[in-house]
């Protein structure tokens, strides 16, 4: 484990808090999510926070500015191709819960597309007397005549599923309907589904996800559905899917052993044939091709392929034992694969070089394309900013929608077909004045000498002004340049500087960057973030008193560690839906699924390194903690609100400056509609402006 800077730690002679398993935790009662006493405590904290931060003119300006951006009719309505239609989910002031709607490509090309509304979520919520939040739809291929609509009460991950007829635009009476659960469904045909859901005791894993995959026939009880596969109780999840691609119809079962390892099976009749890729590799099949993405080195037939590589083989040949792999992508110290997407005849790679994106088109051999894979850079892409594949049509065409944006460049949506010039289809407006702002990338040096990239968006000249620093550093997720009208109006336009740190634990440099901060190496992510904070001060961009930090989920854990280990580096902290109690996280909601990332607190060896940084266990009296705001949601069934509740109670009892807001709705996003999202953003910004400037 990397050495900790003694000046930033809890102090010599400190002893760990006694409550290790929760049995003598005086705040354990706050883990009872809907207990009346706990909710009364929540309401008291909310009222205190409202009184302190939401009554002034600036808060109202921040809230209204955020709402204006979030509800703007000038936003790009992003779409996904499903058969003959382009589908979109849209929220605005008149439809806060949203509209699920569709249009044609011809209409979408116009400035004012004609939308066919399929489901008005606000009207449905009113009719049902439920606080519905849209969670997407699973559509029947290739006809796209039916959909399984996922609706959440208040924004939780658990959803109610209802079958919807896209021809009549009505819900199917006595159709495939399932009660609230963390359910996985996949269409087989009009009368059959693969399903994993809560079927009673023993049907879920310790993480709360389906343990059993079943084949369900229309008109029969789901409890009587045929069992296809059973995982183990300690697995993360199990699911089955059907691929209806004409000429390549196949069925697959995926067993997720932990967050990063699993087994993939081909289902032939009642038999399962394991696809022989490494447990920690991800594999996907498109038509005749198997694509494998490695996380660690893989040696096959005397050849070693590095972690982070993308490999291809003909699927049938691979199953027959002919492991003839073609390298489609191989990482280098500066470049990693972000993701890939198929069109009908091409594979598009999105790669990152020092966290800057590049799109490349690969064409497989066959169909007159030659004996080998060919590659070419996707044309018409901007040299600055970040580009993303929004939608493709892998069943029928080489159509592609590509979105590009940057910290100060509003989004541009391009459309076309691979091999032809792309055309600009939509442009988002500029929601803030970016004149006088510049974007720079720097590299801080972490404690072990690693160069850590970060982006700075701010004034042309360093002014040691108020600065907002954010980061994530977990689960191989990357933070890339993107345009935010809310950040622009609430922070940049008001004279603040915005910084994004690409610390280890993320995916900016591929799996090795992630693995460098997993489990016993976790402190490296926190050392990286602290190094960026120090570098901002060294360069004169800000000062510790004017440096605020904000992060959510795993980024909320990052904020908690910064608060308790590096308090002297910051002037204010905002932690949203955070993990904080690393002794009990695996016992709360989906926490068990993250043990591959963090470790098992019940294992003494793992707890030895977890207790080093667990924020809840490292709170000490008499430390120079900066003011901190915690934001979470009662309906978050992924990261338990007890983390934030208990941390706030502990800090309050020690006399620290701590504020708390818990939204009753919102799930892991802590907001169920744009009004709630605008309020949450305004609260965080008002807190930061007060603490860093007033």
Q: Which residues are catalytic?
A: 553, 668
Q: Are strands 250-256 and 262-268 parallel, antiparallel or unpaired?
A: antiparallel
Q: Which residues contact 617 (CB under 8 A, 6 or more apart)?
A: 16, 17, 19, 20, 581, 582, 583, 611
Which H or E run contains 178?
A: strand 178-181
Burial of 354 (0-12, 13-18, 19+ CB in 10 A): middle
CA atoms lying within 13 Å on the CB side of residue 637: 16
The tokens 């269409």 sit on which residue? Answer: 187
The conformation of residue 491, written as its DSSP 8-state character, comes to: I
Q: Are strands 289-293 and 310-314 parallel, antiparallel or unpaired?
A: antiparallel
| Two tokens, residue 97 | 């819960």
C-beta atoms surrounding 186 within 10 Å = 19
Alpha helices for 312-399 (secondary structure H): 315-319
Peptide bond into 142 cis (omega under 30): yes
Spatial distance between the Cα atoms of 393 and 341, rounded to a whole number of angstroms: 10
Q: Which residues contact 611 (CB under 8 A, 6 or more apart)?
A: 16, 20, 582, 583, 617, 618
Residue 677 near residue 70, CB atoms below 8 Å: yes
CA atoms lying within 13 Å on the CB side of residue 263: 14
Residue in 628, 633, 634 with CA at minimum distance from that of residue 654: 628
Kindly write down the DSSP assignment for every residue of 189-237, as one continuous string.
Answer: ETTEEEEE---STTSB-TTSSB-EEEEEETTS-GGGSEEEEE--TTSSE
Residue in 619, 9, 108 with CA at minimum distance from that of residue 401: 108
């Amino acid at each position: 484990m990397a050495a900790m800077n003694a000046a930033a730690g809890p102090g010599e002679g400190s002893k760990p808090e006694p409550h290790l398993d929760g049995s003598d935790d005086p705040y354990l009662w706050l883990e009872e999510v809907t207990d009346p006493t706990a909710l009364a405590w929540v309401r008291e904290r909310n009222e205190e926070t409202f009184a302190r931060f939401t009554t002034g003119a600036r808060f109202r300006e921040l809230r209204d500015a955020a709402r204006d951006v979030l509800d703007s009719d000038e936003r790009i309505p992003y779409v996904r191709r499903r058969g003959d239609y382009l589908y979109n989910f849209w929220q605005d002031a008149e439809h806060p819960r949203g509209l699920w709607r569709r249009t044609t490509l011809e209409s979408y090309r116009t400035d004012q597309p004609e939308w066919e509304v399929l489901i008005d979520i606000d009207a449905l919520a009113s009719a049902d007397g439920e606080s519905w939040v849209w969670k997407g739809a699973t559509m029947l291929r290739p006809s796209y005549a039916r959909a399984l609509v996922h609706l959440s009460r208040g924004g939780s991950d658990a959803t109610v599923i209802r079958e919807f007829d896209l021809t009549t635009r009505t819900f199917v009476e006595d159709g495939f309907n399932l009660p609230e659960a963390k359910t996985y469904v996949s269409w087989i045909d009009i009368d059959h589904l693969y399903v994993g859901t809560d079927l009673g005791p023993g049907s879920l894993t310790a993480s709360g996800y389906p343990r059993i995959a079943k084949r369900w026939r229309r008109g029969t009880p789901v409890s009587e559905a045929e069992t296809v596969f059973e995982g183990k109780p300690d697995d993360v999840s199990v699911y089955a899917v059907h691929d209806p691609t004409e000429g390549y119809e196949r069925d697959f079962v995926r067993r997720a052993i932990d967050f990063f390892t699993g087994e993939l099976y081909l289902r032939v009749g009642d038999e399962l044939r394991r696809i022989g890729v490494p447990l920690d590799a991800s594999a996907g099949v498109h038509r005749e091709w198997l694509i494998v993405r490695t996380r660690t080195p893989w040696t096959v037939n005397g050849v070693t392929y590095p972690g982070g590589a993308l490999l291809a083989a003909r699927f049938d040949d691979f199953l027959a034992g002919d492991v003839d792999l073609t390298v489609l992508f191989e990482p280098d110290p500066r470049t990693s694969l972000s993701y890939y997407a198929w069109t009908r005849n091409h594979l598009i790679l999105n790669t990152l070089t020092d966290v800057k994106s590049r799109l490349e088109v690969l064409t497989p051999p066959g169909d007159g394309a030659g004996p080998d894979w060919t590659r070419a850079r996707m044309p018409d892409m901007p040299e600055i900013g970040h580009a993303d594949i929004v939608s493709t049509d892998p069943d029928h065409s080489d159509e592609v929608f590509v979105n590009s944006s940057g910290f100060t460049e509003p989004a541009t949506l391009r459309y076309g077909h691979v091999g032809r010039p792309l055309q600009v289809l939509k442009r988002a407006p500029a929601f803030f004045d970016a004149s006088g702002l510049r974007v720079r990338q720097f590299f801080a040096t972490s404690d072990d000498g690693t160069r850590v990239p970060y982006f700075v968006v701010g004034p042309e000249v360093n002014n040691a002004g108020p600065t907002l620093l954010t980061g994530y550093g977990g689960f191989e997720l990357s933070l890339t340049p993107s345009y935010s009208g809310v950040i622009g109006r609430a922070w940049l336009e008001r004279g603040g500087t915005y910084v994004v740190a690409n610390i280890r634990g993320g995916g900016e440099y591929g799996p090795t960057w992630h693995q460098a901060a997993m489990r016993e190496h976790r402190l490296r992510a926190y050392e990286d973030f602290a190094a960026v904070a120090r570098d901002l001060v060294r360069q004169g961009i800000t000062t510790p008193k004017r440096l605020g930090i904000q992060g959510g989920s795993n980024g909320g854990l990052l904020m908690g560690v910064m608060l308790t280990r590096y308090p002297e580096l910051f002037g204010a902290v905002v932690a949203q839906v955070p993990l904080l109690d690393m002794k009990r996280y695996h016992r709360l909601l989906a926490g068990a699924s993250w043990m591959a990332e963090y470790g098992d607190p019940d294992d003494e060896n793992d707890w030895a390194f977890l207790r080093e940084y667990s924020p809840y266990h490292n709170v000490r009296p008499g430390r120079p903690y900066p003011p901190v705001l915690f934001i979470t949601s009662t309906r978050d069934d992924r990261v338990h609100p007890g983390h934030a509740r208990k941390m706030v109670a502990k800090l309050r009892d020690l006399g620290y400056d701590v504020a708390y807001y818990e939204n009753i709705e919102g799930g892991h996003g802590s907001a169920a509609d744009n009004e709630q999202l605008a309020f949450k953003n305004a609260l965080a910004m008002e807190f930061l402006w007060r603490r860093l400037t007033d």
